[in-house]
Amino acid sequence: MTIEQLNTQFGIAGQLEFIAGNGGLPMIQVKTAKAKALISIHAGQVLSYQPAGEAEDVMFLSAKAYYQDGKAIKGGAPICWPWFGADPEGKGRPGHGFVRNRAWNVIATEALANGDIKVTVGLDDTPETQAIWPHAFSLRQEIVIGDSLNLSLITRNTGKEKFTITQAFHTYFKVGDISRAKVSGLAGCDYLDKAGGGNTQKHQTGDVTIDAEVDRIYLNVGNTLTIDDAALNRCIQITSQNSKTAVVWNPWEKIAKDMADLEDHDYQRLLCVETTNAADDVREVAPGGECRLVASYRVVRG
C-alpha cells in the first residue's frame, strides 16, 4: 500500500499519520496530548516514544541504524521471534529470528476513549517464512500509546501441529550516562552470563550496574524492573506479563566500535532491558492456541 492509501484507510486526523520515514520505509507518526511515538511498519517496531512533558525520548535509536529490507533497525523495540538469540536448531538461521528485518502489515488503528492510540501490526506465515520456520502462524503486536507505552506480542498457532517459541522485546532504552545508571528488581535472581561468549550461571546481589560488556539472561524474574537513570534524572519502570526471564545488554566500548550501525560512544547512552521468554522460558503453542507476551514502559519521577 502507498502512504496515501495507508492514510486513507488507517490515518486518524490530527493524531496518527503515515509518513515515508528513513530509507523511504513507511512509518506511523503518533502525536497526542499524552505522548508522541514513531513506529516502523518494516520490522513492526516502535522506534520512539516520548510522553508529554518529558524532555527526552524513552528509547535509544542509533543515528547509524540501517533502514532497509533484510536488516534490523538498531534501536527502539525490535521484536525477536520465534527465537531469541542464536538459532536453537543450529541450522545457521539468523540470530533473534526472522521478523525484525522484514515488512509487516498494518492491521488496525484506533483512537481509544481514554485518549490513547492503539496500533496493531502483524505478520502471517508465507512460503518464504515456511522455508525458514515450517509453521503456520499469525503474529500480532498491539501497541498502545498513552501515559505509558504498552506492547503486546500475540502468537497464534494457525497450523495443525504444536510449536515452541522463545521471544523478546529487545528494547533499547536511552540513558544519560551508563556509568550512573542502574537496574533494580533483579537482586536475588540467578543469571546466565553470556559476556565474552561465555555461558556461566551466576547470582545477582543488589542492583545491576554496568562498567563493562553486559550480556545476561536473568532467570525467574518478577514482573517489575526499574532503570534508574541519574544523569537524566528519571526512572523507567518496566512491567511485564507472561515473562519469566529478562535480558540486560550493553555492548560496551569494543563491541560498540565493531558494530557498523552504532557510533563508537553509543554504549554510554543505551541500555537494553529486554522482556523475554528466553533460555529455559520456552513457550509451547498448541494448534488454535495463543501466547501473549506483554511489556509496559512508564517514566517515573521522584
Q: Is the dihedral of CA 221, 223, 229, 232 positive or negative?
A: positive
Q: Name which of 30 and 77 has its Cβ closer to ligand G6P.
A: 77
Minimum Å gap between C-beta 6 and ligand G6P is: 27
CA-based nearest residue to 175, from 102, 235, 108: 235
Q: CB 32: neighbour CB atoms within 10 A?
A: 18
Catalytic position from the list 96, 170, 213, 263: 170
Using CB under 6 A as the binding rule, whether residue 247 contacts ligand G6P is answered as: yes
Complex with ligand G6P: residue 10 or 60, whichever CB lies closer: 60
Residue 239 is given by DSSP the state: E
Q: Is the separation of the CB atoms in 9 and 18 below 8 Å? A: no
- In the structure grid, which three cell numbers stand for residue 34, read together? 499524552
Catalytic residue among 42, 96, 135, 274: 274
**Pairing assessment for the beta strands 35-40 and 26-31 based on DSSP bridges:** antiparallel
Nearer to ligand G6P, 24 or 95 (CB): 95
Binding string, residues 204-243; x marks residues near ligand G6P by CB under 6 A: -----------x----------------------------
Query: Residue 279 CB, nearest distance to ligand G6P (Å)?
Result: 10
Nearer to ligand G6P, 51 or 85 (CB): 85
Cα–Cα distance measured from residue 289 to residue 155, given in angstroms and rounded to the nearest whole number: 8
- Peptide bond preceding 88 in cis form (omega within 30 of 0): no
43 φψ region: left (φ > 0), alpha (ψ -120 to 50), beta (else):
left
Binding residue for ligand G6P, selected from 135, 194, 234, 244, defined by CB under 6 A: 194
Q: Which is nearer to ligand G6P, 90 or 302 (CB)?
A: 90
Question: What does the CA dihedral 262, 212, 299, 43 come to, rounded to 10 degrees?
Answer: 40
Count residues contacting ligand G6P (CB under 6 A)? Answer: 10
Q: Interface residues for ligand G6P in 53-82 (CB under 6 A)? A: 72
Q: Is residue 170 flagged as an active site residue? A: yes
By CB under 6 A, residue 172 contacts ligand G6P: no
Q: How far is the CB of 82 from ligand G6P (least distance, A)?
A: 16
Q: Does 249 bind ligand G6P (CB under 6 A)?
A: yes
Owner of C-alpha cell 526512572: 235
Q: Which CB atom, from 272 or from 294, has the smaller least distance to ligand G6P? A: 272
Residue with CB nearest ligand G6P? Answer: 249
Rounded to 5 degrees, φ, ψ at 63 are: -70, -15
User: Position of cell 501466547?
Assistant: 291
Largest CA distance in the chain: 53
Among 34, 96, 156, 244, which residue interacts with ligand G6P (rule: CB under 6 A)?
96
Q: Which residues are registered as beta bridge partners of 61?
A: 75
* CB of 194 vs ligand G6P, minimal distance in Å: 6
For residue 128, give the DSSP letter.
H
Residue 133's Cβ-side half-sphere holds a number of Cα atoms within 13 Å equal to 25
Give the x-and-dash track for 253-282 against ligand G6P (CB under 6 A): -------------------x----------
Would you please indicate which residues are annotated as catalytic (active-site) residues? Answer: 170, 274
Interaction site with ligand G6P (CB under 6 A):
72, 85, 95-96, 170, 194, 215, 247, 249, 272
